[in-house]
Chains A and B, each alone.
Chain A
Amino acid sequence: MTDVSLAVVLPLLGAFVLPLTRHGILRSLGPVIGPILLAACALILFAAWSAYDVPYAVALGSFAPPMGITFYIDDLALLFALAVPLTTLVLWPGESDPAATGRQSLTLLLAGSLTGLALSGDLFNVYVFYELAAVASYGLVVGDGRSPAYVAAFRYLMISALGSVVGLIGIAIIYFKTGTLNLADLSTLSGELADPQGLAAFAMLVIGFGVKAEAFPVNGWVPEVYGAVGKRVAALLAGLASKLAVLVIVRILILVFPHDETRQLLLVLGILGVAVGELAAWQARDIPRMLAWSSIGQLGVVFVAFSLPGKAGVIAGVTVAMHHLVVKSALFLLADRWDRAIESLKGAASTSRIGAALFVLFSLSLLGLPPLPGFWSKFLVLGGLAASASPLQLLAMGTILAGTVIEGAYLLRVVVTFYARPDAAVRVPGQRAGNLLGAGLFALVLLTAAVMINPLWQGLEVLAERAVDTNGYQHTVLGDREAGR
């Protein structure tokens, strides 16, 4: 039963061992350590998944909860935990320049901490892994050593530092009020946290973890960072890291703060995110920033989805999040070589047919063309909003729909530029085979999901039911002990 925690430990170990392979006999091992470890993690998680039946908790170091560190494994955790090594493998920075070892080490660090975020069952652990991921991402963002990357990284650092401090204060308030940081224990005490201080603590936690989740108003770093860094790193951050941050917020929301006010907070932040993201993207002049703003918009939709109460919210949120993970990562991979102004990419389709075709496929899925999965994710979110029909939710529905129209305008502007006749004077770079392969893999996943909607739906129903079952969570982690506080 400690297998699953290996999925967290192995990448961390690898991160620390990797620099040793820079010189000497281990030099040939260097490039393969990372992929091997990630593959091992994926296998471990697959094994855990096939052996999985009902949710269970793992007490690390055999310290019984609520003391010590707990890992909680249910469908939701496994889904996100599995997504981490798989996505990191596809987005693995495989270049062999001198800085490669450092970059790969940081990527492994990021992977390990994100897996930890998915599995964690207490706030302390969550915070530690979150900070670990943040530090890894600072390093990755700076990695190239170019000045725009430094500026962007500093911006990121400032906002992230502020967010972390605020988040820590929030955690401190919770600890002060309840004396525990274990999520299951806090869940039994959620009534105590429904007062002004508790809700303020939730707001601070949202700010803290919202930095990575590209939540409004702490997403000022996003366009600059995604514009300046290597696009594989951008894909990791936008596609993967942001989802795990959202997962953390959602777990806290469901378990500890299941109130209408907190859901409303997420809803409002989501609406603002969609509006600001899509509007800003409309005038984007280069591909990476366009994708960055689009990513902010999509994460706004994720927030709106998770703000829906009950099972419907979790299903909608997970669908949108997973869809965005696949599509945005793939789009950033395609943007790796096309990392420039849109005008200068005129006729890109003639240089890379497959790349342009894949771009069209992902754009159509983002816009929600049936029968692609993007349509179903929108259907679930908007269907949930239409069902409750409070004024704020109708506003959210209108914002998401209007956002889609704007999205269509700017995505198609790019597509049309790709398929225009190329300018004789400007040379458009073609795609690298590695990026095309990665994007192709994501496309395969997308199309498979499009065909297998029903089985996925059934799986998601079970996932959501278990995720919202707070009593089950408490029971599983704390055993038969009642909440004695």
Chain B
Amino acid sequence: MIGALDSLFLLALVAIPLSLLLATSRWGRWLLVAGYVIQFGLLVTMVSGSSPPSAVSFSLLGNDVGWQLDPLGWLFAMITVGAAGFAAAYASGEWGETHAAHGGSLRWLYGGLQINVLAMLLLLSSADFISLFIGWELTSWSGLILMLLAGGEAIRAALRYIVYAIAGGMAVFAAMLVTSAAVGSLQFDAVQAAVPSMSNGQLWAIALLFIAGFSVKMGTMPFHLWQAPAYAFSPGPASAFLGSISARMGMFAIALVAFRLIGVTQLDRLAIVPDWFDLRDLLAWIAVFTAILPTFVAMRQNDARLLLGWHGVGQGGYMLLGLVMADSLGSAGGLLHVFNHASYQAILLMAVFAVIHRTGTSDLNRLGGLVARMPLSFLAMLIGIIGLAGLPPMNGFVSKWMIYRALIIDGHPLLFVATVVSTLGTVLSVYKLLHNTFLGQLRLEHETVREAPWSMTVPMLLLCVVVFVTGVAPGLVLQYVAAAQQAIGLEPVAFILGGVEAGSGSLDMLWISAILFAGFGVGAVLFYLMGGRSRRVHQLDNYAGGHFLTADVQYQYSDNFYAGLMHRIKPWYRDTFAWTESALVSVLGIVSSAARGFFSQANPASWALVGTTVLMTWMMWHALA
């Protein structure tokens, strides 16, 4: 009788060739969606947290390799399989057919999706560093499959991604080997036990290398440049999947290594300026800059997909910030934000791709007024941006509140202010997204646009329900977050169904939402009491300043949104990181040319002679010394 974890692995593995075979037919795709539902169900059976280790374990080169799912991995695994299921459902109907008709490969979309899920499951249930590294590399490379699918502009972004990913992977590899040399074993338990006896230098090396390597996937600065284009230019459902959960594998790994294995007490040994600034402070500041700068880059974007991609980078900063606070409230906020972000990012990307499906464009300067044509997509995007901006009653508010509260309680006023600046940017930016797509003036060419098909709107709306329900009753998710916190050795958050209970002020979303809707209710009652008069007008019936306008005249412009703000802050956009990246590449090119020059000289034997002399002299000097 094989255990649940092994059944899950087996199912995910078998589903890969099934995906490659069945993805081209509609019922095949529905079958694959059912496969994800079953995988989700299998995960649900493992919720108790004490799932047995996988029977797949072996010894390689003297190291034991095995897999076991703990509550932290379980939380991320649920999000992963859920995101994949929704993405698969989104592509199963009309979207998939249109994609195939335009020459896209559904086989590799579904196959790649399942490969990603399997790779992530392997990563999330690792029990030692070798299985962690295997999962890490497989995740990085399987993400590449999805990114390469779209072709064209996606290729450059994908190549940039994989170079970053390999670099990050090599940092993780180096960290793993240094750990193995210092501890003598690659098992998590052995490493955890050996950390207190490590020297500061060793611990610094291990911590920095691991965190740097994992941060590359997370998209934390300065490794953030690859993420937005790579995720944005993948095909719709793949983009939704990658954007919601893929980068968070880095967060999982940091939580695992920095908190479960090294632990907060040991981490605090790593001081940069003793008693004043240590590694966690550094990470907190990096996280907050990651939250601010990409958010303001997002504000500048005119492609809806890129805008959301940059927000994904920024929100990752929030998660990391919450986590490194390492207290019960902040780390719970950070982990909860992973779930929340996955839910609303998926909605937003799905809505954007629904608009692309119907109108053919994601350029925010060429859309507008689609609210009457695509009301369900509008509703989904509205709920999504309320979540992303972090406003009640959606779930984004809860996790952000917890992070703010933790920052204040832990005495980080500057970080708090910085986070608020980031939220300001988020709010402005997501409104631009909503307005430019759905509000404002409808363009003549979009008059006949219909709502997206059910196969696309149903997943979006289901996720909206999830966002709303987990916003009103966040305790539903917080119980699993608390279990995850316990698994990594942090104090679990004191949660209630409506939120958290903190001595200095609780959060109860049930009450807040009730009051919010009561307010709406009062407003609705007043409106209808006063006659409820409303009159339907045709959307293209335009009238301005005393004369009628024809529908093709553009009188409401939404490009160069926030012109005033942009005028003020434009000098601050210096593209420093992009410049640094291209400078590095140029330097590499110069050194590479020099290296090639060595091989194209006219008399190479002279180098051989010089080399011989040098080596001989060196050896003789060695022997004499």
A-side residues, CB < 8 A to B, are 155, 158-159, 161-163, 166, 194-200, 202-204, 206-207, 211, 216-224, 261-262, 264-265, 275-277, 279-280, 282-283, 293, 364, 367-371, 375-376, 378-380, 382-383, 385-387, 389, 397-398, 401-402, 404-406, 408-409, 412-413, 416, 419-421, 453-454, 457
Q: A203-B618, A265-B618 are in contact. List 15 more A-B contacts (CB 8 A).
A: A158-B603, A197-B620, A198-B623, A199-B619, A203-B616, A203-B619, A206-B615, A217-B607, A280-B596, A282-B592, A376-B61, A379-B177, A382-B174, A419-B148, A454-B61
Q: Would you list 20 pairs from A and B whose C-beta atoms are within 8 A, ordered by A residue?
A: A207-B611, A207-B615, A217-B610, A218-B611, A220-B607, A261-B619, A279-B591, A279-B592, A293-B599, A367-B166, A370-B130, A370-B138, A386-B178, A386-B180, A387-B181, A398-B174, A405-B170, A416-B148, A453-B60, A457-B60
Contact A408 to B166, CB < 8 A, known contacts A199-B623, A420-B151, A457-B61 = yes
- Beta-carbon nearest neighbor of A315 in chain B: B61
The answer to the question of B624 belonging to the interface, with a C-beta cut-off of 8 Å to chain A, is: yes
Is B155's CB under 8 angstroms from A404's CB? no
How far is B148's CA from A99's CA once the two chains are assembled, in angstroms?
45
Most buried by B among A155, A216, A406, A412: A412
Q: Which of B512-552 contact A (CB under 8 A)?
A: none
Nearest CB in chain B: distance from A102 CB, A? 27
How far is B59's CA from A457's CA once the two chains are assembled, in angstroms?
11
Most buried by A among B138, B159, B611: B611
Is A379's CB under 8 angstroms from B607's CB? no
The answer to the question of B30 belonging to the interface, with a C-beta cut-off of 8 Å to chain A, is: no
Nearest CB in chain B: distance from A323 CB, A? 14
Contact A397 to B174, CB < 8 A, known contacts A202-B619, A280-B596 = yes
- Beta-carbon nearest neighbor of A400 in chain B: B170
Is A162's CB under 8 angstroms from B173's CB? no
Nearest CB in chain B: distance from A280 CB, A? 4
How far is B619's CA from A264's CA once the two chains are assembled, in angstroms?
10
Contact of A162 among B601, B609, B624 (CB under 8 A): B609
List, in ascending order, chain B residues with CB within 8 A of A224's CB: 599
A interface SS class: helix
1/0 contact trace for B161-179 toward A, CB 8 Å?
0110011001101100110
Nearest CB in chain A: distance from B611 CB, A? 3
Is B598's CB under 8 angstroms from A220's CB? yes
List, in ascending order, chain A residues with CB within 8 A of B622's CB: 199, 261, 264
Is B608's CB under 8 angstroms from A416's CB? no
Is A405's CB under 8 angstroms from B620's CB? no
- Beta-carbon nearest neighbor of A260 in chain B: B622
List, in ascending order, chain B residues with CB within 8 A of A371's CB: 134
Is A416's CB under 8 angstroms from B623's CB? no
Is A195's CB under 8 angstroms from B623's CB? yes
Is B604's CB under 8 angstroms from A158's CB? yes
Nearest CB in chain B: distance from A465 CB, A? 15
Nearest CB in chain B: distance from A243 CB, A? 21
The answer to the question of B133 belonging to the interface, with a C-beta cut-off of 8 Å to chain A, is: yes
List, in ascending order, chain B residues with CB within 8 A of A207's CB: 608, 611-612, 615
Most buried by A among B148, B167, B592, B608: B608
Nearest CB in chain B: distance from A349 CB, A? 12
List, in ascending order, chain A residues with CB within 8 A of B599's CB: 219-220, 222-224, 280, 293
The answer to the question of B2 belonging to the interface, with a C-beta cut-off of 8 Å to chain A, is: no
Is B159's CB under 8 angstroms from A416's CB? yes
Is A401's CB under 8 angstroms from B610's CB? no
Contact A382 to B598, CB < 8 A, known contacts A203-B618, A218-B608 = no
How far is B619's CA from A195's CA once the two chains are assembled, in angstroms?
9
Nearest CB in chain B: distance from A423 CB, A? 14
Nearest CB in chain A: distance from B214 CB, A? 16
Is A409's CB under 8 angstroms from B163's CB? yes
List, in ascending order, chain B residues with CB within 8 A of A275's CB: 595
The answer to the question of B579 belonging to the interface, with a C-beta cut-off of 8 Å to chain A, is: no
Is B605's CB under 8 angstroms from A159's CB? yes
Is B60's CB under 8 angstroms from A412's CB? no
Is B607's CB under 8 angstroms from A408's CB? no
Contact A283 to B615, CB < 8 A, known contacts A369-B141, A408-B163, A454-B58 = no
Is B155's CB under 8 angstroms from A416's CB? yes
How far is B593's CA from A162's CA once the two chains are assembled, in angstroms?
26
Contact A220 to B608, CB < 8 A, known contacts A280-B592, A283-B596, A367-B166 = yes
How far is B604's CA from A262's CA once the two chains are assembled, in angstroms?
25
How far is B61's CA from A376's CA once the two chains are assembled, in angstroms?
9
Is B59's CB under 8 angstroms from A203's CB? no
The answer to the question of B589 belonging to the interface, with a C-beta cut-off of 8 Å to chain A, is: yes
List, in ascending order, chain B residues with CB within 8 A of A162's CB: 605, 608-609
Question: Ordered nearest first, which 6 A-B pairs have the shortest CB separation?
Answer: A220-B604, A217-B611, A199-B619, A196-B620, A386-B177, A279-B595
List, in ascending order, chain A residues with CB within 8 A of B424's CB: none
Is B596's CB under 8 angstroms from A196's CB? no
Is B60's CB under 8 angstroms from A454's CB? yes
Nearest CB in chain B: distance from A378 CB, A? 8
User: Interface residue count for B (Cβ, 8 Å)?
Assistant: 57
Contact A413 to B159, CB < 8 A, known contacts A369-B137, A370-B134, A405-B166 = yes
Is B618's CB under 8 angstroms from A401's CB? no
How far is B604's CA from A405's CA once the two chains are assembled, in angstroms?
28
List, in ascending order, chain A residues with CB within 8 A of B170's CB: 401-402, 404-405
Contact A163 to B141, CB < 8 A, known contacts A199-B620, A386-B178 = no
How far is B591's CA from A370's CA once the two chains are assembled, in angstroms?
30
- Beta-carbon nearest neighbor of A275 in chain B: B595
How far is B608's CA from A166's CA once the two chains are assembled, in angstroms?
10
Nearest CB in chain A: distance from B57 CB, A? 13
List, in ascending order, chain A residues with CB within 8 A of B14's CB: none
How far is B612's CA from A288's CA once the two chains are assembled, in angstroms?
28
List, in ascending order, chain B residues with CB within 8 A of A364's CB: 141
Nearest CB in chain A: distance from B264 CB, A? 26
Nearest CB in chain A: distance from B574 CB, A? 26
How far is B181's CA from A389's CA once the two chains are assembled, in angstroms?
9
Nearest CB in chain A: distance from B345 CB, A? 27
Contact A265 to B608, CB < 8 A, known contacts A279-B592, A405-B166 = no
Nearest CB in chain B: distance from A413 CB, A? 7
How far is B180's CA from A369's CA once the two chains are assembled, in angstroms?
19
Contact of A454 among B59, B148, B601, B618 (CB under 8 A): B59
How far is B172's CA from A404's CA once the two chains are assembled, in angstroms?
13
1/0 contact trace for B285-297 toward A, CB 8 Å?
0000000000000
How far is B605's CA from A162's CA once the two chains are assembled, in angstroms?
7
Contact of A370 among B137, B595, B596 (CB under 8 A): B137
Contact A166 to B181, CB < 8 A, known contacts A158-B604, A220-B599 = no
List, in ascending order, chain B residues with CB within 8 A of A204's CB: 612, 616
- Beta-carbon nearest neighbor of B177 in chain A: A386
Nearest CB in chain B: distance from A338 CB, A? 20
Nearest CB in chain A: distance from B63 CB, A? 9
Most buried by B among A217, A283, A419: A217
Is A412's CB under 8 angstroms from B615's CB? no
How far is B223's CA from A405's CA once the two chains are assembled, in angstroms?
15
List, in ascending order, chain B residues with CB within 8 A of A378's CB: 173
Contact of A405 among B62, B167, B181, B589 (CB under 8 A): B167
- Beta-carbon nearest neighbor of B178 in chain A: A386
Most buried by A among B58, B59, B155, B615: B615
Nearest CB in chain B: distance from A318 CB, A? 14
How far is B608's CA from A162's CA once the two chains are assembled, in angstroms?
8
The answer to the question of B55 belonging to the interface, with a C-beta cut-off of 8 Å to chain A, is: no
The answer to the question of B588 belonging to the interface, with a C-beta cut-off of 8 Å to chain A, is: yes
- Beta-carbon nearest neighbor of B619 in chain A: A199
Is B163's CB under 8 angstroms from A405's CB? yes
Nearest CB in chain B: distance from A398 CB, A? 8
How far is B137's CA from A188's CA once the two chains are assembled, in angstroms?
47
Nearest CB in chain B: distance from A325 CB, A? 20
Contact A420 to B155, CB < 8 A, known contacts A200-B619, A223-B599 = yes
Is B619's CB under 8 angstroms from A283's CB? no
Is A280's CB under 8 angstroms from B595's CB? yes
Is B173's CB under 8 angstroms from A401's CB? yes
Contact A408 to B162, CB < 8 A, known contacts A206-B615, A207-B612, A382-B174 = yes
